[in-house]
C-alpha cells in the first residue's frame, strides 16, 4: 500500500474497511516519513472482519433453515449462494490479512517510493495523481453503491412475493446486509492495489522521461563523445538532468531538451553519474514491484478467482432472465445483473491494467537504453549503459506481477478469462 500525499484519501477510507490499520508518522514539515501499527485500528480491523464473516455465514444458515427461504429455494440456488458468499468472504478477509500482517513490507515499499521521489522530484505530478486517486475511489464506491441498492430492492421484492402474514421474509434479506459490507472491503482492496501499482508505473514513466531528456531520441544521431568536468555530487536526478542542459567553456554536451518550468542555471555534472543513479532507481522500483507481488499474492489470487466465478454466474443468470418469460420484475433484475457485471469487470481491470502498465513502462526503459547504446561513443557512459542493459535483462521477471507464480497478471489474462467464459 502506497502511503503518500497523493494517496491519503484512499488510505483513510481503507482504514474504515479494515485494510490499513496504520498510523502515519510525519516530520516537522508535515511530510509523511513512515508508518506504524495503530493499536486502535488494528483491533478494530480484527473485530470488524471477524464479526462480518460470522454474521455472513449466520445469514446463510438462517435463510437455509427458514420456513420461507429467499435465496435458498432450490438445491441449485443453495449451492450457488453458498459458493458465491464463501468466495466473497475469502477474498475480503485475505485483503484485510494483507494489511494486518504486511506492515514491514509496507514500510519498505514506501521507503523505496520516497527515495525514488527524491531522485525524480521535478517530475512528480501531484495534482494529477491525487485527482486520479479520488476519481478511482469515488467511481468505484459509487458504482458499487448503485449495484447494492438495486440488488437489495430486487431481493426485497422477491421476499415480499413469498411473505405471509405470520412470516416476515424481509428478515432473511436483513441478515444478508453484512455480505454487502464485505463487498465494500473487497472493492476497496482493489482500489488500494490499483493506486499503488499505478504509482509505481508513474515512477517508471518519470524515469523514462529523465532518460529521454538526457538523450533525446530525436537527436541521438547527433550524439558526440562528451568531455566532462568535475562537479559535486547532486542527489536529485531531476536537478542534475537540467544542469546538463547548460553549455560551459570546459565541457561539450549533446543537445538536451529541458522540461517546462525547470531552471537550468547550474554547471553540468557527469552523465555517467546520472545513469548510475537511474540504475539504482530502476532496481529499487523492481524491488517495489516484487514486494507488492509477494505481499498481495493471496488476496490477488482470491480476487481473480471471484472475478472469474462472478462474471460467469452473473452473465449466466442475466441470459436466463432475458430468454425466459418476462414479468414485472425482469427489467429491474436485468439492471441489477448488468450493474454487477460492471462491478466485477471493473475489479478485473483494476488488477490487470496497472500491472500491465508497469510492465509496458519497464520494457520501454529497455528500448530507450538500447537506442542510446547504438549512438553513444563515450567510454565512461558506454560502460554505465552496459551495466544498465545487463540489469534490465537479468531483472526482467522482477517487473511482472504474478499470483504465487500460477499466472502472470497482464492483458493476456483478460483474454484467457473471457475465452474461458465464452467456452
Q: Does residue 36 sit in helix, strand or coil?
A: strand
Per-residue pLDDT reduced to its tens digit, 188-209? 999 999 999 999 998 888 888 8
**Ranges 173-187, 256-270, 337-351: which has the least confidence:** 256-270
Instruction: Kindly give, in sequence order, each residue whose CB lies less than 8 Å from that of residue 204, ignoring residues fewer than 6 positions away.
Output: 282, 285, 358, 361, 362, 364, 365
- As a whole number of angstroms, the distance between CA 355 and CA 201 comes to 8
Q: What domain range includes position 9?
A: 5-422
Give mean pLDDT, residues 82-103.
92
- Number of structural domains in the chain: 1
Residue 237, CA distances (Å) to 68, 158, 233, 267, 407 in order? 68, 63, 10, 14, 36
Nearest to 52 by CA among 184, 179, 189, 183: 179
pLDDT for position 381? 75
Distance between CA atoms of residues 362 and 358, nearest Å: 6
Partners of residue 35 on adjacent β-strands: 24
- Select the more confidently predicted residue: 111 or 233: 111
Compute the distance between CA of residue 36 and CA of residue 23 in angstroms, rounded to an integer: 5
pLDDT band at 89, cuts 50/70/90? very high
Band (236; pLDDT cuts 50, 70, 90): low
- As a whole number, the mean pLDDT across the chain is 81
Highest mean pLDDT among 17-21, 277-281, 389-393: 17-21
What pTM does this model have?
Answer: 0.83
> Is the pLDDT at 361 greater than 80, yes or no?
yes
Q: What is the mean pLDDT of residues 312-325?
A: 81
Which is it for the CA torsion 22, 401, 147, 154, positive or negative? negative
Instruction: Kindly report, residue by residue over 144-171, the tens digit of the pLDDT.
Output: 999 999 999 998 988 888 877 777 788 8
Whether the pLDDT of residue 241 is over 70: the answer is no
- Cα separations in angstroms, 26 against 40, 195, 288, 289, 409: 19, 21, 22, 25, 34
- Dig out the grid coordinates for 161 from the structure: 412475493
CA dihedral 134, 138, 141, 146 (to 10 degrees): -170
More confident site: 130 or 108: 108
Q: What pLDDT, on the 0 to 100 scale, is given for residue 216?
A: 62
Determine the Cα–Cα distance for residues 44 and 200; give it in Å rounded to an integer: 30
Amino acid at each position: 500500500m502506497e502511503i503518500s500525499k497523493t494517496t491519503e484519501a484512499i488510505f483513510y477510507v481503507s482504514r474504515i474497511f479494515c485494510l490499513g490499520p496504520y498510523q502515519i508518522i510525519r516530520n516537522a514539515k508535515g511530510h509523511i516519513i513512515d508508518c506504524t501499527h495503530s493499536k486502535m485500528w488494528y483491533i478494530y480491523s480484527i473485530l470488524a472482519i471477524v464479526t462480518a464473516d460470522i454474521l455472513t455465514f449466520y445469514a446463510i444458515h438462517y435463510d437455509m433453515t427458514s420456513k420461507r427461504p429467499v435465496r435458498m429455494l432450490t438445491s441449485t440456488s443453495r449451492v450457488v449462494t453458498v459458493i458465491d458468499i464463501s468466495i466473497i468472504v475469502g477474498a475480503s478477509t485475505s485483503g484485510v490479512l494483507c494489511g494486518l500482517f504486511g506492515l514491514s513490507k509496507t514500510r519498505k515499499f514506501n521507503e523505496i517510493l520516497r527515495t525514488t521521489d527524491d531522485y525524480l522530484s521535478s517530475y512528480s505530478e501531484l495534482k494529477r495523481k491525487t485527482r486520479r486517486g479520488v476519481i478511482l475511489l469515488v467511481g468505484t464506491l459509487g458504482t458499487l453503491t448503485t449495484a447494492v441498492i438495486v440488488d437489495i430492492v430486487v431481493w426485497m421484492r422477491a421476499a415480499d412475493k413469498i411473505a405471509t402474514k405470520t412470516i416476515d421474509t424481509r428478515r432473511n434479506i436483513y441478515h444478508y446486509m453484512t455480505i454487502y459490507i464485505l463487498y465494500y472491503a473487497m472493492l476497496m482492496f482493489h482500489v488500494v492495489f490499483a493506486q499503488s501499482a499505478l504509482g509505481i508505473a508513474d515512477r517508471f514513466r518519470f524515469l523514462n522521461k529523465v532518460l529521454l531528456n538526457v538523450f533525446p531520441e530525436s537527436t541521438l544521431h547527433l550524439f558526440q563523445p562528451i568531455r566532462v568536468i568535475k562537479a559535486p555530487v547532486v542527489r536529485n536526478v531531476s536537478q542534475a538532468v537540467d544542469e546538463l542542459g547548460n553549455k560551459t567553456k570546459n565541457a561539450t554536451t549533446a543537445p538536451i531538451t529541458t522540461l517546462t518550468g525547470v531552471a537550468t542555471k547550474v554547471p553540468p555534472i557527469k552523465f555517467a553519474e546520472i545513469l548510475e543513479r537511474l540504475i539504482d532507481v530502476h532496481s529499487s522500483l523492481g524491488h517495489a514491484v516484487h514486494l507488492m507481488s509477494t505481499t498481495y499474492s493471496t488476496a490477488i489470487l482470491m480476487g481473480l478467482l471471484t472475478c472469474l466465478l462472478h462474471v460467469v454466474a452473473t452473465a449466466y443468470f442475466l441470459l436466463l432472465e432475458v430468454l425466459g418469460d418476462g414479468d414485472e420484475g425482469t427489467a429491474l433484475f436485468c439492471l441489477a445483473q448488468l450493474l454487477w457485471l460492471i462491478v466485477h469487470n471493473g475489479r478485473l481491470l483494476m488488477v490487470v491494467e496497472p500491472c500491465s502498465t508497469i510492465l509496458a513502462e519497464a520494457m520501454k526503459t529497455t528500448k530507450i537504453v538500447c537506442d542510446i547504446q547504438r549512438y553513444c561513443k563515450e567510454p565512461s557512459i558506454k560502460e554505465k549503459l552496459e551495466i544498465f542493459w545487463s540489469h534490465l535483462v537479468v531483472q526482467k521477471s522482477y517487473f511482472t506481477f504474478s499470483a504465487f507464480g500460477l499466472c502472470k497478471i497482464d492483458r493476456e489474462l483478460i483474454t484467457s478469462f473471457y475465452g474461458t467464459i465464452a467456452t
